[in-house]
Each structure stands twice: as C-alpha cells, then as structure tokens.
Amino acid sequence: MPAVDWQAELAALKTLSADIGNDPLLTQGAGGNTSLKVDGTLWIKASGTWLAHATERDIMVPVEMAPLVAAVEAVDPAAEQAQQFVVTELNGSGLRPSIETTVHALMPHRVVLHVHCVDTIAFAVRSDCAEQVAPRLTGLNWSCVPYARPGLPLALAIAEHSDNRPDVLVLANHGLVVGGETVKEAAALLADVKARLRIVPRMATTPDLDELARLTAGSDYRLPHSEVAHWVATDPQSAALAVRGSLYPDHVIFLGAGSVIAKGNEDAAAVVKRMGAAPVAIVFPGIGVLMRGDAVPGADAMARCLADVLARIPADAPVRVLTEEEHRQLTDWDAEKYRQELARRAQKKIA
C-alpha cells in the first residue's frame, strides 16, 4: 500500500465525521464515533461531543493503543477507563475519549466508523437480525454481534469475531461499525451498507398541534425540535412498538427506560402526576409528542431517532427489547454519567 499522508487523512476523517453527524439517519446527537490509527496512536472522537462539530471544534482524542488492547485482552477493568491511556501531551482538548474506544482499538482497520444508522437499528433490534440482513450483505465480510453493554463488554463480544477480521459489524440493539484502510475506503463501505440495508419508512399523519398546545397547559413541556419525532405517536404501528420497551442504549440514556404513553384524556400535567416525575418525553397516541422544557438537544435527537427507527420496523417483527438488568448497567455506568454531565453543561451554555 502506498504511503499515506496521515495529517490529510485526519483532516478527511473530520470532514467525513461532520457529514455523518449532520445526517440524522446515520447518527444522532453525541452518538456514534470515528477513529484513525497512526503509528500506535488511536485518534478517536471525544465522549459527549457531536460528530457534527468535527470540523469546527477539537473533538479527536489521542489514545495509546498497545496498553489499552492489552487491558482488553486481560479483561482488566482499566479498559473501561480509556482516559487512562490518553497521550496527554497531544490531547489539547483535555476531553475523555469515547466510551467505545475499546471497540475501535480492537478493529484491525486503520479507519473505523461507528454509527447509529436507523435502517441498521431497525434490523438490529430484531431477534432474527442475522437472517434478515444476510441476503442484503452478500459479498461483504460481515458479522452480527449479540447485544452487550458499550465499553469493555461490547469489545469482548466483538473479539469473538476477530478471527474472520470482518469489515462490517451489525451490533444487536445498537448500530453499525465499518472499517477500512483509508477514510475514502471506509466512507464508501458505509455508503454501500447503508444502501443495502435501506428500509422505506411508513408515512405517518401530521401531529395535532392545536391539541398538543392544549395538553401543555399547566406544565413545562414543549414541541420536539423535529416534526419527525411525532411519528411515534401518529403512526399506530409505531406507537404499538414503542409500548414494548427500550430498543438501544442511547434511548435509555437520553429518554429514560421505555416510552411514556399518555392514557385516555391525560394532559402533560396529569402524566407527570401519575408518574411521580416529569418524563423527558411523552407520547400522546394519535396526537403527537411533547418534550420536557429542559430536555437537552441530545434528547430531541433521540426522540427523532426513535420515530425513524420504529417507522422502519414491521408491526409483527420479533423485536428484542433491553432487559431491566441491561437498563441498570447503562444508567449506573460512570462513563455514561460523564457523557450526560457534558450534555447538561452544554445545555446551560445555550440557555
């Protein structure tokens, strides 16, 4: 392979990252991450930052790969603290590396892209995911990885497939990972997989904005930032799927466990009283969705993601929801608490 200008590759990765981050069908909010390996150093997106900001902010963190990989292979809890392996003198931002740094470190490719592609997730939440995607990914070197909590558990699950050196990983109840030797190669593979797994969404009716305005009376709720977010309420099949529970980690982190569905003639205030707390989002079947007034931008991004994903799942699909234990693992996890704190700080700056 000819010599590669890694400064140019890092610049190209930042441009690609911003493109990915600005496509809500590929990643949402602070979700997803990208990386580049250069002479033993892994440059990876910082935890809590948005890929959409890759060209305007310093969001790439340098991590020393060898000791991190050794920690994973030893199943050392230190692997969960990727900040311990940061090359401090190169880390101008002072931020922590992504919570999924171990996944990128274990992939043999120089360039790794991890996205929360809504088409992929619509397959990945199905118990028959492998059977569904197999004919679509014919000719590619791919694997389907069973669900594991992001971080070390997911890295260990991926390691089970390392013998085949897959270029494409479909992560159950999570998303998609692709790898290539150059940014251009990885980008082309991502585009190919996205096209192969594309699902035409069901079209939902428009929300009842007048009724939603009435339902906010006496509460601190507002409309979601994206009108697409209402689909979960205005499409009956999506609403029925939402009742089943949480489908992937970022839903739990930004919206809470499952979906809160309003009953009968409840308005927002009545839902809060019934729940004993104010949920981040409330689904009013046949009407639309309301977001809590202080919901961070990432929560709005995930509200739209939920609608996008559900609109691509057949009503009779064998869907696997996250278990109570899997919810607990996510909400009690220090790395996710750090990411949420960054989101809250950013929200305060905006306010």
| pLDDT over threshold 70, residue 336 | no
Residue 71 has which token pair?
Answer: 């920690």
Average pLDDT score over residue span 156-170: 92
Q: Does position 296 have pLDDT exceeding 80, yes or no? A: yes
Q: How many residues does the structure list for the chain?
A: 351
Please name the amino acid found at residue 50. W
Per-residue pLDDT for 351 more than 90? no
Give the Cα separation of 265 and 13 in Å (integer): 50
Task: State the pLDDT confidence band at 76, using cuts at 50, 70 and 90.
Answer: very high
Is a pLDDT exceeding 70 seen at residue 350?
no
What is the per-residue pLDDT across 246-289, written as a single tens digit (0 to 9) for each? Answer: 999 999 999 999 999 999 889 999 999 999 999 999 999 999 99
Beta strands in the chain (DSSP E): 33-38, 41-45, 60-64, 111-115, 142-145, 168-171, 175-180, 221-222, 281-284, 288-292
Contacts of 99 (CB under 8 A, 6+ apart): 47, 82, 150, 151, 335, 336, 339
Residues 28, 69, 81, CA angle at the centre, nearest 5°? 60
Please tell me the pTM assigned to this model: 0.92
State yes or no: pLDDT of 333 exceeds 80: no
Q: Which residue type is seen at 70?
A: A
Tell how far CA 317 is from the center of its chain: 21
Q: Please say if the pLDDT value at position 55 is more than 90.
A: yes
Residue 320, both tokens: 């696997």
Over residues 109-138, the pLDDT tens digits come to 999 999 999 999 999 999 999 999 999 999
Is the confidence at residue 54, as pLDDT, over 60?
Answer: yes
- C-alpha dist (Å) from residue 60 to 16, 54, 269: 13, 8, 42
Rounded Cα distance between 285 and 11, Å, is: 45
